[in-house]
Amino acid sequence: MLHIAIIGSGPAGCYLADQLLLPLPDASIDILERLPAPFGLIRYGVAPDHQGTKAVTRVLDRVLSRERVNFFGNVEVGRDVRLDELMPLYDAVVLATGATRDRKLGISGEELPGVIGSGAFTGWYNGHPDHSAPLAQGVRSAVIIGNGNVAIDVARILAKGPAELTGSDLSPAITAWLAAQPVETIHIVGRRTTADAKFTEHELAELGTLDRARPVIVDPTALAGQSAVVETLRKFAAEENHKTPLTINFHFNLTPAAFLGDHRLRAVQFRSSGGVRIELPAQLAVTCIGYETVACCPVNPSNGVFPNEGGKVGKRLYVVGWAKRGPSGTIPTNRTEAQQVAQRIAQEVTGAGRPGGAALRELLERRHVRWVDHAAWRRVDAVELARAGEGRCREKFSTVAEMLEAAQVQQNLTCPRAKG
């Protein structure tokens, strides 16, 4: 019997578990997750109005329900158990911890209230327990920095009216926050040319279909290139005549220079390729410039990822997903990558009589750590679905305490947990 631990239950971790089951018919796989709820970025990153994409959780949930897969939610490696404690228990350990920290621009004013990273912003509107509402009110103008699909998600959520959010899982509090902002202008700003934009055509085109917003190309002479994305931008430029309460202004070739304001954000300053300084007024700025991996116990990232060779970090230690390759690719990219890393693990790892999950359970019980297993997660899921209000498909719990209560897991908060 082989015992494998995967740290992280996002798409990378779940797909890896799935891919390990076939080549290792005698392996038992334990997935550890710091939150009581699984699915990582699918639950907390994919936009709440893209429920079709979020539906992949049904596939991932089937993986968690497999007989040889065990879910240990509410168990944080570094807090409840250390990596060096897991290594002797398992034949292989895989880091699938994602890239959870927002990259910084490193320009002045980045700490001003009103400036927020996309991980914090998308985490907040997805009900992540670690993230709260941006420190901004009366947002008439929002600046979004970056030309990737996350920038589009953020713009779309800010631009949509309440009726367009029907069917999403946005909570009432977040819906109310969004509805209270008198947004008139959203600026999406890229530092390079239209040909360098990383949007995908489908996501970009969706911005041309919104009820109360229309895309505007601020400088149509900047439109260069022949890709499907550039063609969509050209289409936007040709359709700009009708009036809407809100515009989504696309700017290119502008490098962020500073966030301006005394006690809160007032404007974002950019430098054009010709060296001209340009200021865009803003009460909210969301930096959508990518993410980096954070340390897992003694394993430190370098350049935002865990240094690895084809998914191998060290002896019996592997990595998958954004923690391996950085914040790129689509959800299916993780499935392809999981196949490759699973084959490698299957070839390299041999059993040595390690105790696996039985010993982990004992250790957690000794430390009074209450974990959420798959059945307990299903209870949380059922309550979230049942309590959804009108026009919503789910109402998520946004605190760990609420999730544990719905899971019917009693966390004894007076007992000390392991130190990282």
Retrieve residue 382's tokens. Answer: 């059922």
Identify the residue among 132, 273, 328, 408 touching ligand NAP (CB under 6 A).
328
Closer by beta carbon to ligand NAP, 145 or else 404: 145
Retrieve residue 318's tokens. Answer: 């592997």
Of 240, 155, 160, 228, give the one whose Cα is nearest residue 198: 228
The H helix count followed by the E strand count for the chain is: 15, 17
- Quick one: which segment of 20-28, 321-329, 349-357, 403-411 binds ligand NAP (CB under 6 A)? 321-329
Give residue 138's region: left, alpha or beta (phi > 0; psi -120 to 50): left
Q: How far is the CB of 151 from ligand NAP (least distance, A)?
A: 6
H or E stretch at 182:
none
Q: How far is the CB of 139 from ligand NAP (least distance, A)?
A: 21
State yes or no: residue 330 binds ligand NAP (CB under 6 A). yes
Quickly list DSSP for 365-395.
Answer: HHTTPPPB-HHHHHHHHHHHHHT--TTBS--
Binding positions for ligand NAP, 86-105, rule CB under 6 A: 105
Neighbours of 158 (CB within 10 A): 21
State yes or no: residue 40 binds ligand NAP (CB under 6 A). no
Binding positions for ligand NAP, 251-270, rule CB under 6 A: 256
State yes or no: residue 147 binds ligand NAP (CB under 6 A). yes
Closer by beta carbon to ligand NAP, 181 or else 193: 193
Closer by beta carbon to ligand NAP, 34 or else 191: 191
Retrieve residue 223's tokens. Answer: 């439109």
Identify the residue among 246, 288, 319, 364 touching ligand NAP (CB under 6 A).
288
Helix then strand then coil, % of the chain, to nearest 5:
35, 20, 45
Quickly list DSSP for 48-67.
Answer: TT-HHHHTTHHHHHHHHTST
Identify the residue among 24, 92, 150, 404 touching ligand NAP (CB under 6 A).
150
Dihedral of CA atoms 106, 112, 115, 117 in degrees, nearest 10, equals 50
State yes or no: residue 48 binds ligand NAP (CB under 6 A). no
State yes or no: residue 203 binds ligand NAP (CB under 6 A). yes
- Quick one: which segment of 76-84, 186-194, 307-315, 402-410 binds ligand NAP (CB under 6 A)? 186-194
291: amino acid identity, one letter: Y
Quickly list DSSP for 112-167.
Answer: STTEEEHHHHHHHHTT-TT----S--S-SEEEEE-SSHHHHHHHHHHH--GGGGTT
Binding positions for ligand NAP, 105-124, rule CB under 6 A: 105
Dihedrals phi, psi of 367, to nearest 5 degrees: -95, 5
State yes or no: residue 196 binds ligand NAP (CB under 6 A). yes
State yes or no: residue 157 binds ligand NAP (CB under 6 A). no
Identify the residue among 161, 208, 329, 357 touching ligand NAP (CB under 6 A).
329
Q: How far is the CB of 265 from ligand NAP (least distance, A)?
A: 17
Residue with tokens 């000390």: 416
Closer by beta carbon to ligand NAP, 53 or else 340: 53
State yes or no: residue 198 binds ligand NAP (CB under 6 A). yes
State yes or no: residue 145 binds ligand NAP (CB under 6 A). yes
Identify the residue among 68, 82, 192, 271 touching ligand NAP (CB under 6 A).
192
Of 33, 21, 99, 15, give the one whose Cα is nearest residue 67: 21
- Give 94's strand partners: 6, 318
Q: How far is the CB of 281 from ligand NAP (least distance, A)?
A: 19
Secondary structure (3-state) at 8: coil
Q: How far is the CB of 254 from ligand NAP (least distance, A)?
A: 9
- Quick one: which segment of 328-336, 371-379, 393-401, 412-420 binds ligand NAP (CB under 6 A)? 328-336
CB 98 within 8 A of CB 323: yes
Binding site for ligand NAP (CB under 6 A): 105, 145-151, 153, 190-192, 196, 198, 200, 203, 256, 288-290, 327-330
